[in-house]
Amino acid sequence: MRSGASQPVADAEQPGLARSLKPRHLSMIAIAGVIGAGLFVGSGAAIRQAGPGILVAYAAAGLVVILVMRMLGEMAAANPETGSFSAYADKALGPWAGFSIGWLYAWFWIITLGIEATAGAAIVHRWVPGVDQWVWALVLMVALTLTNIVSVKSYGEFEFWFASVKVAAIVVFLLLGVAAIAGLLPGVEAPGLANLTGHGGFFPNGGAAVMAGILVVVFAFFGAEIATIAAGESTDPVGAVKKAVNSTVWRILLFYIGSVAIVVTLLPWDDASVAKSPYVAVIEHYGIPGAGVIMDVIVLTSVLSCLNSGLYTASRMIFSMATRGEAPRSWTKVSRRGVPRNAVLASTVVGFITVGLNYLAPGEVFLFLVNTSGAIALFVWLVIAVSQLILRRRQEAAGAELTVRMWAFPYLTWATIVVIVAMVVGMVVIGETRESLLLSAGLAVVVVAIGAVRQRRGHHAAAEASPSKEPATALEPAAS
């Protein structure tokens, strides 16, 4: 059992855990983290809800993510660790916080495995209808489990190429879009501002729809933090973190705001095809044949990327917690190639269960499980902001030099905290998101309670073993 003071957290330097991710791997992992199927498919519902004004929602949500990543980057550059924000919460708030946010985050990605495996299987089943969809889901899960078990380098290579396909697709999409808007694409008439200002104006459904749209699109950005987790297994952790954080701004501007701007400029926001699949609609507008198949390939690549990263991220988070005594100790065991296989397999087993539940009880058990993870992104971001607020003050008091610094500290940190809390309140107010928020909050309360009990028991055990303790260091919380 852990003592009340935060214990040293095992990181990539402990014997056995490999550091074989190269700079190109980390660059693409950082990019892949913010380009998912939610952009290609989920953006249609957001556009339908808010019209062209959804661009404001994407910009606002993107700004929050940029600020959160800057805060996380500050902590990660100062102390790169596989546990990332879970380890920092442990130091800033105490073991209960690191335990709670680590398990919630791992749960989010484990649930995501079931969602993405099912989505990928549906696409492959359309191509090969003779094989049952559940078989394809099983094949995808097994294939990417093996990828993660072999070596961290194999994970990095797969993610590099998955991300390369996504980036290439979006770049081509943007180039063709700019050409079409400028009237340079043969057979496509330049739309001017007709689709942005017509059909009810830029805010056809009012400002409230844009505010609600923020809650829809903000979760599409979740995953950017994966780069700080993977940095612990790179050859240059600090450099990798700095590069990932600094590139967050242009990635969000280019890939999300840029591509959605192309959609709402070229096509009327209230067109049925935009709500169904905006990127397919635009590709068809370009006059390119086989738009549906092209998008299926891109979405499948995004799904495989998410599966790959989900397994990696969940396994590394629970591995880090295991090294801190917050998960079974057997999960700290690593293979000769430096892979925490037991942690990978533990994540995979639950992932296989969620896939099975999606087929056996999709509208009951599986939907319930999905909803329990719906607001975890906001909880993670809130913990990151609070942890940075506390650790930054300790570092300044200790005279530490920071290679990455949060802008306008502490004002932007406090502003970000207020905005995230407002989003949580917004999820309660809006009927469509209320159930997800309440279920996620219920799960969080249970996990926090378990973490608090563990910490209290640790305090009692430590007090009995050693009544007098040394004072905590500047970067670690004192035992209460």
Write down the pLDDT at residue 420. Answer: 96
Q: What is the pLDDT of residue 465?
A: 54
Q: What pLDDT does residue 162 have?
A: 85
Alpha helices, DSSP H, located in 252-324:
259-266, 272-276, 278-286, 291-323
Residues 426 and 433: their CA atoms lie apart, in Å, by 8
Q: What is the model's pTM?
A: 0.87
**Torsion sign, CA atoms 434, 437, 440, 442:** negative
| Residue closest to 383 by CA, chosen among 134, 112, 83, 45 | 83
Peptide bond into 23 cis (omega under 30): no
Helix (H) or strand (E) holding 289: none
The Cα 369–Cα 74 span in angstroms is 33
Q: Measure the CA–CA gap between 380 and 388, rounded to whole angstroms.
A: 12
Q: How far apart are CA 162 and CA 326, in angstroms?
A: 33
Distance between CA atoms of residues 79 and 90, nearest Å:
13
Q: What are the residue boundaries of the structural domains of the chain, listed by start?
A: 23-453
Residue 116: strand pairing partners: none
Helix (H) or strand (E) holding 399: none
pLDDT of 4 reads 39
Amino acid 178: pLDDT:
93
36: three-class secondary structure by DSSP: coil
Report the 10 Å Cβ neighbour count for 105. 28
User: Tokens 């040293």 appear where?
Assistant: 8
Please give the pLDDT value at position 15. 42
Can you give the pLDDT of all 480 residues of the chain as single tens digits?
Answer: 333 333 433 444 444 556 777 777 777 776 666 676 667 777 888 898 899 999 999 999 889 989 999 999 999 988 888 788 999 999 999 999 999 999 999 999 988 888 888 888 888 989 999 988 888 888 999 998 888 888 888 888 888 888 888 888 888 999 999 999 999 988 888 999 899 998 899 999 998 889 888 888 888 888 888 888 887 777 777 887 887 777 777 777 788 889 999 999 999 999 988 888 898 899 998 888 888 888 889 888 888 888 888 888 899 899 989 988 899 999 998 888 888 899 999 988 887 887 787 778 766 676 777 778 888 999 999 999 999 999 999 999 998 889 889 999 999 999 999 999 999 999 998 888 888 899 999 999 999 999 999 988 875 555 455 444 434 444 544 443
Cα 13 to Cα 328: distance, rounded to the nearest angstrom? 20
Q: Which of 163, 167, 113, 170 is nearest to 142 (CA)?
A: 113
pLDDT for the residue numbered 244: 76
| Contact (Cβ atoms closer than 8 angstroms) between residue 34 and residue 219 | no
Cβ neighbourhood burial of 341 (10 Å; 0-12, 13-18, 19+):
middle
Residues in the chain: 480
Q: Which CATH architecture has domain 23-453?
A: Up-down Bundle (1.20)
